Amino acid sequence: MPPPPSPSLHTHTDESELLVQMPLVMRTAIAGCDNQMLVDMLLRLKSIVYLPGDFVCKKNIDFHHFLLLDCVDSYFQVSVLGCIVSHFLFVALGFIVFHYSMSVSWVCRLSLPVSFSLGVASLLLPSLAHIFPLQGDIGKEMYIIKAGEVQVIGGPDNKIVFVTLKAGCVFGEISLLQSSKDGGNRRTANVAAHGFANLFVLDKKDLQDILSKAPAAAAAEANKKTGMALFAPKPPTPKMLRAFGQFNKAAFIEKLKLASSGDKQ
């Protein structure tokens, strides 16, 4: 008797079984989708697990990461470090100048104030980042949450949680769909994994391919035109309704009075 097939070697799968395992939001969305589009999309999805706190999308560059100062958690320490680093740079510069037998007096005189200013500048860097925010990542992928949660975060030190997205939610699509003019393809928010998050990732190019082939895309284009009809001038009111529209209450009461006085006579 042949051995029973191992579960991992099944050649075909029952779609309804697969569907049951998906988050409810995804199942509902799938129900209204074009079949070919779904197949196209599913074949291109990659599954990635993000660790707790990992950034999936970045709107702002974090200056502590930027300066490679993850271990330094206060602006004061950053500025002190800035002073020390710039002072050593000047000492090195002085050494080079001295080595080439040039005057070092101006280097010595400038060393302290410049080190100090650079220290102050490094103190101000995080505040400057809020005034002149650096542009974030260019969106290259969008995500569907398979399991776990992600949070859209912002504010100082990304402490504010704007929204928590759960299994079945889609995000990271805005920068993919916006035009690149005026930096429109930059991430509009920071998104980080809240606990372990298993995400399906879809490339920008794959998304564009799917949308260009999908009949739904054409329908959406057509809908833009038909949708306008909803706001177009309304058709003229039918005759009967127009008669109601011209209904004059005072004249009607006058007619009633006349009729009743005629009855009495």
Q: Between 41 and 189, name the residue whose CB sits nearer to ligand CMP.
A: 189
- b/e sequence 50-67, b meaning 16+ C-beta within 10 Å: beeeebbbbbbebbbeeb
Residues 6+ apart with CB under 8 A from 171: 56, 57, 142, 143, 145, 150, 152, 165, 191
Q: Between 54 and 104, name the residue whose CB sits nearer to ligand CMP.
A: 54
Smallest separation, CB 169 to ligand CMP (Å): 8
Q: Between 34 and 137, name the residue whose CB sits nearer to ligand CMP.
A: 137
Angle, alpha carbons 27-53-122 (nearest 5°): 140
CA separation for the pair 64, 74 (Å, rounded): 10
Smallest separation, CB 9 to ligand CMP (Å): 38
Supply the Cα-derived Rg of the chain in whole angstroms: 34
Q: Between 144 and 189, name the residue whose CB sits nearer to ligand CMP.
A: 189
Smallest separation, CB 173 to ligand CMP (Å): 5
C-alpha neighbours within 13 Å on the C-beta side of residue 191: 28
Smallest separation, CB 163 to ligand CMP (Å): 4
CA separation for the pair 110, 91 (Å, rounded): 11
List residues binding ligand CMP (CB under 6 A): 57, 139, 152, 162-163, 171-175, 187-189, 191
User: What would the two tokens of residue 137 be?
Assistant: 């990542």
**What phi, psi does 58 have (nearest 5°)?**
-125, 120
Q: Name the E strands within 96-189.
A: 141-154, 160-165, 170-171
Q: Between 125 and 167, name the residue whose CB sits nearer to ligand CMP.
A: 167
Helix (H/G/I), strand (E/B), else coil: 165: strand
Q: Between 56 and 107, name the residue whose CB sits nearer to ligand CMP.
A: 56
